Amino acid sequence: MTKTFSSDFMIGAATAAHQVEGNNIHSDFWAMEHMPYSMYKEPSLLAVDHYQRYSEDIRLLAEAGLNTYRFSIEWARIEPVKGQYDPKEIEHYKLVLECCHRNNVTPIVTLHHFSSPKWLISEGGWESEATIEYFGNYCKFVISELEQLIPYICTINEANMGKQVAKIMKRMAAAASSSDAKPDSPEVQVGLNIDMKSRMEKYFLGLGEVFGIDPRNVHPFLTPRTENGERIIMLCHERARSVIKEINPSIQVGITFSLYDHQALPGGEASVDLERYEDLLNYLPYLQEDDFIGVQNYSRKIHGPDGVIKPDETVRLTKMGYENYPEALGNVIRFVAKHWTKPIIVTENGISTDNDVDRVEFIEQALTGVHQCIEEGINVVGYTYWSLMDNFEWQLGYDQTFGLIAVDRATQTRYPKQSLSYLGAIKNKGL
């Protein structure tokens, strides 16, 4: 029997500004990509030129049958200098939003997706109390200008990423000292290959020079945080939500989290409980006034008595190096639903692979899990695949291929994959 989704169910794809727009010259990432001893495989440069070609990309999404586009507004474009907002840039995002509406595509806007203005990091970044006010001011300006065009807002992408980065670095350090270490194996749901220990000291000193402050005070979003830094992130979320609701109470506001499907072998239950607490449960007090939660999942982690264990050699891996396990999404949704009764939006889920047949299979199995959750009575209202296009995967550069659309970056020509039309067919015809 065909599994269909309701007519108002959102199915689409997602991007992040720095990964697709190109020439994000005022951001901290741009600075870190171009500094001596950069940890980045290559700089983002023009990316896939989504800044100029957004109308073509949104049209391709809509023509495939998708009805939702999650994208981010780039703070570094809006406020390239502290306290100075660029009217041309807010007009640009207005045009992007209007393009979505013309194509009957629901926009889900993320206000912060990893990248920050360079000046913010020089002011103390994501460990500074002042960032709460700075982020609130930025949000107030954006919403004041665009509020009639935005039905859904994710304030911050993967608010828990600081803790996950800290765990990765700890595991990388342990792996580096073991005899079977594989230093090039990524261990995270985004492109963070933090294992280049020999370059870290020079890189660390270079950060201080780039941002003009003591390197110990350089705190971009994608770094391990103190407990106070964790609190600042969530107070930024609360401030943004308050600002948005004051301007337009009808806008649905949420936040997103990177969540693994944690599974326990005998003796691994305590490890699973700890990770679930750190990944999500300790953030719940800050979310009580939110309208939805954004769930982002790519794989699972299996825990034994000593913590997370590596997949054995028989396990299918994605191009990113983690297990190809689309069933993880349904399991994560069920876990979240035990602690959250309001709407759930799957704001990221996808696979990096050069074989689009594998991508189609992944989407089919992941959305089968979503459909099962809905049948069980869980309030899932949308799914946006990561990502719309092959793009800049942070430290890993352009080698990763998550996209529903391939891009020849020499010509910026778009080549829709079969997976794009397959996902659109699910929206209109079901599984």
Q: What was the pLDDT predicted at 197?
A: 61
- Model-level pTM? 0.95
Angle between helices 50-63 and 87-102 (to 10 degrees): 10
Residue 344 has pLDDT above 80, yes or no: yes
* CATH code at 10-260+286-303+317-429: 3.20.20.80
Q: Does the structure show a pLDDT above 70 at 330?
A: yes
| Over residues 397-403, mean pLDDT | 97
Q: Which residues are CB-neighbours of 119 under 8 A, at least 6 positions away?
A: 26, 80, 81, 82
For the cut 70, the answer to whether the pLDDT of residue 431 exceeds it is yes
Determine the Cα–Cα distance for residues 380 and 341; give it in Å rounded to an integer.
Answer: 10
Locate 11 and state its tokens.
């199915």
Average pLDDT, the chain: 94
Q: What value does the mean pLDDT take over residues 375-392?
A: 98
Using CA atoms, how far apart are residues 41 and 172, in angstroms rounded to an integer? 18
User: Exposed, middle or buried, 214 (CB in 10 Å: 0-12/13-18/19+)?
Assistant: exposed
Pick from 50, 45, 46, 72: which is nearest to 60 by CA? 50
Residue 248 has pLDDT above 90, yes or no: yes
Tokens of 382: 């949308």
Q: Are 128 and 116 in contact (CB under 8 A)?
A: no
Q: What CA–CA distance (Å, rounded) separates 59 from 230? A: 38
Q: What is each CA distance from 26 to 38, 233, 255, 395, 398, in whole angstroms?
A: 17, 21, 24, 18, 21
Which pLDDT score is estimated for 166? 80
User: Tokens representing 250?
Assistant: 């009808």
Structure confidence at residue 102 (pLDDT): 98
pLDDT tens digit string along 51-85? 999 999 999 999 999 999 999 999 999 999 999 99
Report yes or no: 262 and 273 within 8 Å, Cβ to Cβ.
no
CB atoms within 10 A of CB 246: 10
pLDDT for 174 beyond 70: no
Do 342 and 290 form a contact (C-beta atoms < 8 A)?
yes
Q: Are 220 and 210 in contact (CB under 8 A)?
A: no
Tell me the average pLDDT across 418-422.
98
pLDDT digits (tens, 9 = 90+) for 28-37: 999 999 998 8
Instruction: Tell me, rounded to whole angstroms, the distance of Cα 285 from its chain centroid.
Output: 22
For residue 252, is pLDDT > 70?
yes
Query: Where along the chain do its domains lie?
Result: 10-260+286-303+317-429
- Exposure of 348 by Cβ count < 10 A (0-12 exposed, 13-18 middle, 19+ buried)? buried
Query: Among 319, 328, 349, which Cα is nearest to 419's?
Result: 349
97 has pLDDT over 80? yes
Q: What tokens appear for 41 in the block?
A: 């495989």
Does the structure show a pLDDT above 50 at 288? yes
Among 190-199, 282-291, 375-384, whose mean pLDDT is lowest?
A: 190-199
**Cα–Cα distance, 156 to 300 (Å, whole number):** 23
pLDDT at 178: 58
Amino acid sitting at position 221: F
Q: Does residue 242 carry a pLDDT above 60?
A: yes
Predicted confidence at residue 164, as pLDDT, reads: 85
The number of helices, as runs of H, and strands, as runs of E, in the chain is: 14, 13
pLDDT computed for residue 182 by the predictor: 46
pLDDT digits (tens, 9 = 90+) for 177-232: 554 544 444 455 555 555 556 667 788 889 999 999 999 999 999 999 999 999 99
- For 270-275, the CB contacts below 8 A with 24+ separation are 271/303, 271/304, 271/305, 271/306, 271/307, 271/308, 272/303, 275/301, 275/303
Question: Given this model, what pLDDT does residue 189 score?
Answer: 56
